[in-house]
A and B are shown apart, each in its own frame.
Chain A
Amino acid sequence: MANILVIEDEKLLLEVISKKLALSGMNPISCSGGEEALDCLEKLSVMPDVIWLDYHLKGMDGLVFLEAIKKNKKWEKIPVVVVSNSASSDEVHHMLALGINKYILKAEYRLDQIVEAIKEFISSETNNEKSIGG
């Protein structure tokens, strides 16, 4: 089962996302901020398959978090899907430059659409893991 690290500071959204991911057969790891997420990553024995990142976060914002994981060799290859309310072009370009895999505007997408997009990143990874593992 794929592990999805969900970083979302809005409690309701975190809840609905986690529920949807669970219902979709995935294992959501819910974090409500950047620092918490970094802690999680430190503690996790198994690296998450995909990171669901809300860009606008209270405290450490998405960009700082992104820069942090990209500096960490263990984490830098984890696919990151940014799901946010808004972002300026510069920021989007900056994020893409930092290696995010997808940028999704929250209100424009249904959950199942986002879940489908995430599945694209985890299937191969999972497959790879399986193949490696298998």
Chain B
Amino acid sequence: MEVVSIGVALILVLGLVTMFIIQTVVRQDMNKSGEQLTDFAINYRAKDLEEIFDVSKNLVSIIASDKEIISFLRDEEAKKNRGDEMNEKLLNYNSGNNYSAIYLIGKDGRTRASTDRSFIDQDYSFRQYFKEAMRGENYADVNVGVTSKKMGYYFSSPIKIDNEVVGVAVIKMNPEIVFSFLKEECIAALSDLMVVDRFGIVVGANRDGLIFKSLGKISQDKEEILATEDKYPNVMIDSLSYQEILNELQYIGNEVRDFKTYDNLNKRFENIIVTKVGEYNFFLVAKIDDQKVAFETGLMFRKIGGVILVIMFFGSVLMLFLMSSRLNPLEQLLVMSRKISMGDFDYKNPVKQKNDLAELGETMETMAMTIKHRWDELEKMVEERTEKLNEQAKSMENTKLAVNNILDDVEGVASDLEKYKMAVDNSSDCVVITDLEGVVIYVNKAVERVTGFSTYEVIGKKAGSKVLWGGQMPKEFYEKLWKTIKSDKKVFEGELNNHSKNGRPYISRLTISPILSNSDEVLYFVGVERDITREKEVDRSKTDFIYLTSHQLRTPLSAMKWFCEMLLAGDAGELTKDQREFVENISQSNERMIDLINSLLNISRVESGRIIIDPTPTDLEKLVQDVLTELDKNIKEKKQEVLLSVSDSLPRVNVDPKLIREVYKNLLTNANKYTQEGGRISVIISVEGGEVVSQISDNGMGIPVADQSKIFERFFRAENIIKLETEGTGLGLYLAKAIVESSMGKIWFKSQEKVGTNFWFTLPLSGVKAHKGQVSINS
């Protein structure tokens, strides 16, 4: 509805503006155009008046040409008695009572017939209208009737017979017709509107007071004519102050003449407009009052304004009405657009009429659908983007975390590098980095500590040369070293004798690694050297300890062994039964002790890696037979059945027989010990793949499941065998395993309590690598 309000307001404003403009323009032009306007109006009034006169003029002409009237006048003598008849006839012409008299005058000037009977036989030959008609002209004049004493407008017309005027037809028009005509308000600005005759005497006016006043002073000759004509008998003619007009009157035609006269009475100028009424000898004189014009203009303006306002009002109403039929859909479309703008894209075209607004609505609907479609697409896209964004955010988060981690790492790396540098700098081992020619480019602190040469003294010199700490080894050693690291690009490991700056000899274990580029070119060498002099000493001490221990323990054990032997041999006299039993117990315990020492020594030897592995082609079958022979006494005691089965394809195997013998001995000893009397023991040696597999089986007491995982542990003895057999060191299987593994084989078992035990161990068919140790087993 805003549109309507604005529309109405606009109309009002425009209306008011128009009014204002009109007022301004009218006011400005009123004096000029007011005059023109009144001139125009007066002209029209004159024409109107002329028409009124014409009616009478025509009527009198018709009467004059009436054949009956003509014949009446021709035969006037003969038909005197027809006078009444004619009077009646003339009355017929006065249908509207506009004429006070219609009468016919004979050529002698006497009235022959008349609607007013008092006119009959009256002589009107002095009248100008008679004189003129008799001359054959129509004529109009104003006179005050000599008979009736009343003023009238006389219209005369000649009655002709064969161009001879035989009489005159006259009608006396009621002056009220003219008066009322003049009183009709044509121009409000007119204060006075008058009709004056050819003498300038007012014969009709819009107000009564003006009648029979003359425009100015009537000249002498004119007064005489007036008297002769007896035009206005018994009338006092006053003069108006329009002398100038009166003087000009005879020159005034049908054009409008304006006069400005000074009104002495009212002390102001007056505008007078004068024009001739057609061909008649009458003039229309109008006095225009300027103020009245202005007032009337204002009035007119107000009237115009009122009209405009009314038009505006109706216009507004009309507009409202018209627009409402447009606005309702507009309103609906507005609602629609609002709805759409608020996201209701399914809003349908509300305009039901079939017009351009409906089209607009449809377009909007289509648009909304398009928007919705796009919106949906957009939403989908946004959803996808959001999802992606979330993923990205997540990945960003991850990245952030990663970056943080990396930053932490970088800090870590930095500190790690610092750590590594510190680690290398402060390593107890000497670290020496050299270029391709072995010229030192870096040494750590340990170098100075070990060699006595300061970093300053070392950098730029050839590592391990005689001027530094090296050069103590044979030429071949260094040749091999350089070949390994430079040509073969491999790590060199070795022990070498060095000497410090102050001449102290020491032993080094040296590792030199070539550092290679991506293209496998040697960039530089990193040497790590450890002073193992003390290690070597400790090693020797350990060896000494074993010697010492074995010697020191074996010496008293040997003494006990041999004294018992002598006692039992009767070297100190025959022993009683009890004495013999006791000495035998001592001897047995002594033997166990010797076994234990031997086992410990063997384990020590194997574990330390100091044991000599001296492989020789060995007949394993014979080896086992020897062990069985050694155990024969024990086996026979328990009446056990022994089976030895050796694969025909078994060759001699390159192993250390002393060590492998120990394995068979341990396994067979256990089989013998922990298998009941009459039990069965079997040894099967086969070749499988690249391995020699030895299987030692019994149907003895087996190993409890709970103990199976521990049987290779040092000093471990299973629950069931401890109860049965108090002897045993718990070192046999441990030693066997140590020997097998040092010979590059494997050992395992399967056992079920009270059913039996199977042990397997393997040896490489290709044989065992020699090991240059210091001690041999059982030595």
A46-87 CB mask vs B (1 if < 8 Å, else 0) is 000000000010000000000000000000000000001111
Which of the residues B594, B774, B775 comes within 8 Å of A107, measured between beta carbons? B594
Interface residues of B in 540-556 (CB under 8 A from A): 543, 546-547, 550-551, 554-556
Which of the residues A16, A89, A112 comes within 8 Å of B779, measured between beta carbons? A89
Q: Given A86-B551, A88-B774: A105 and B779 within 8 A (CB)?
A: yes
A1-39 CB mask vs B (1 if < 8 Å, else 0) is 000000000101100110110010000000000000000
B616 lies within 8 A of chain A by Cβ: no
A96 lies within 8 A of chain B by Cβ: no
Interface residues of B in 761-779 (CB under 8 A from A): 774-776, 778-779
The answer to whether B559 and A56 touch across the interface, beta carbons within 8 angstroms, is no
Chain B residue nearest to A22 in the complex (CB):
B571
Q: Is the interface of A mostly helix, strand, loop or mixed?
A: helix
The answer to whether A20 and B562 touch across the interface, beta carbons within 8 angstroms, is yes
Q: Name the distance in Å between B320's Cβ and chain A's nearest Cβ.
A: 133
Q: Given A13-B559, A16-B559, A17-B562: A85 and B774 within 8 A (CB)?
A: no
Candidate in B561, B562, B774, B778 with the most chain A CB atoms within 10 angstroms:
B562
B612 lies within 8 A of chain A by Cβ: yes
Chain B residue nearest to A23 in the complex (CB):
B571
Provide the bound-state CA to CA distance between A107 and B556, in Å.
Answer: 9
Chain A residue nearest to B571 in the complex (CB):
A23
Q: Given A56-B551, A90-B774, A105-B779: A85 and B565 within 8 A (CB)?
A: no
B507 lies within 8 A of chain A by Cβ: no
B225 lies within 8 A of chain A by Cβ: no
The answer to whether A107 and B561 touch across the interface, beta carbons within 8 angstroms, is yes
Which of the residues B547, B561, B569 comes within 8 Å of A56, measured between beta carbons? B547
Note all chain B residues with C-beta closer than 8 A to A87.
779
The answer to whether B612 and A89 touch across the interface, beta carbons within 8 angstroms, is yes
Provide the bound-state CA to CA distance between A10 and B594, in Å.
Answer: 18
Count contacts on A: residues with CB < 8 A to the other chain.
24
Chain B residue nearest to A87 in the complex (CB):
B779
Note all chain A residues with C-beta closer than 8 A to B561.
107, 110
Provide the bound-state CA to CA distance between A106 and B565, in Å.
Answer: 13
B597 lies within 8 A of chain A by Cβ: yes
The answer to whether B555 and A10 touch across the interface, beta carbons within 8 angstroms, is yes
The answer to whether A85 and B550 touch across the interface, beta carbons within 8 angstroms, is yes
The answer to whether B779 and A86 touch across the interface, beta carbons within 8 angstroms, is yes
Note all chain B residues with C-beta closer than 8 A to A90.
774
Q: Name the distance in Å between B667's Cβ and chain A's nearest Cβ.
A: 21
Note all chain A residues with C-beta closer than 8 A to B551.
56, 84-86
Note all chain A residues with C-beta closer than 8 A to B597.
107
B26 lies within 8 A of chain A by Cβ: no
Note all chain B residues with C-beta closer than 8 A to A40.
none
Provide the bound-state CA to CA distance between A110 and B557, in Å.
Answer: 12
Provide the bound-state CA to CA distance between A106 and B558, in Å.
Answer: 6
B716 lies within 8 A of chain A by Cβ: no
Note all chain A residues with C-beta closer than 8 A to B569.
112
Note all chain B residues with C-beta closer than 8 A to A86.
546-547, 550-551, 554, 601, 779
Interface residues of B in 244-302 (CB under 8 A from A): none
Note all chain B residues with C-beta closer than 8 A to A89.
612, 614, 774-776, 779
Provide the bound-state CA to CA distance between A10 and B192, in Å.
Answer: 188
Provide the bound-state CA to CA distance between A12 and B614, in Å.
Answer: 36
Q: Name the distance in Å between B513's Cβ and chain A's nearest Cβ.
A: 34
A92 lies within 8 A of chain B by Cβ: yes
B760 lies within 8 A of chain A by Cβ: no
B566 lies within 8 A of chain A by Cβ: yes
Q: Name the distance in Å between A71's Cβ and chain B's nearest Cβ.
A: 26
A111 lies within 8 A of chain B by Cβ: yes
The answer to whether B558 and A13 touch across the interface, beta carbons within 8 angstroms, is yes
Chain B residue nearest to A111 in the complex (CB):
B562
Q: Given A10-B555, A107-B597: A92 and B779 within 8 A (CB)?
A: yes
B563 lies within 8 A of chain A by Cβ: yes
Note all chain A residues with C-beta closer than 8 A to B776.
88-89
Which of the residues B554, B571, B778 comes within 8 Å of A106, measured between beta carbons? B554
Provide the bound-state CA to CA distance between A84 and B550, in Å.
Answer: 10
Provide the bound-state CA to CA distance between A105 and B775, in Å.
Answer: 14
Instruction: Please name 26 pairs of A and B residues whose Cβ atoms are closer than 8 Å in the assembled complex, sorted by A.
Output: A10-B559, A12-B559, A13-B555, A13-B559, A16-B563, A16-B566, A19-B571, A20-B571, A56-B547, A84-B551, A85-B554, A85-B555, A86-B550, A86-B551, A86-B601, A88-B779, A89-B612, A92-B779, A106-B558, A107-B554, A107-B557, A107-B597, A108-B778, A110-B561, A110-B562, A111-B562
Interface pairs A-B: 10 shortest CB-CB: A85-B554, A85-B551, A86-B550, A106-B558, A12-B559, A107-B554, A111-B562, A107-B594, A89-B776, A16-B562
**Could you list 5 further interchain pairs (A-B, Cβ under 8 angstroms) beyond the known A88-B547, A88-B774, A111-B562?**
A19-B571, A20-B566, A86-B546, A89-B775, A107-B597
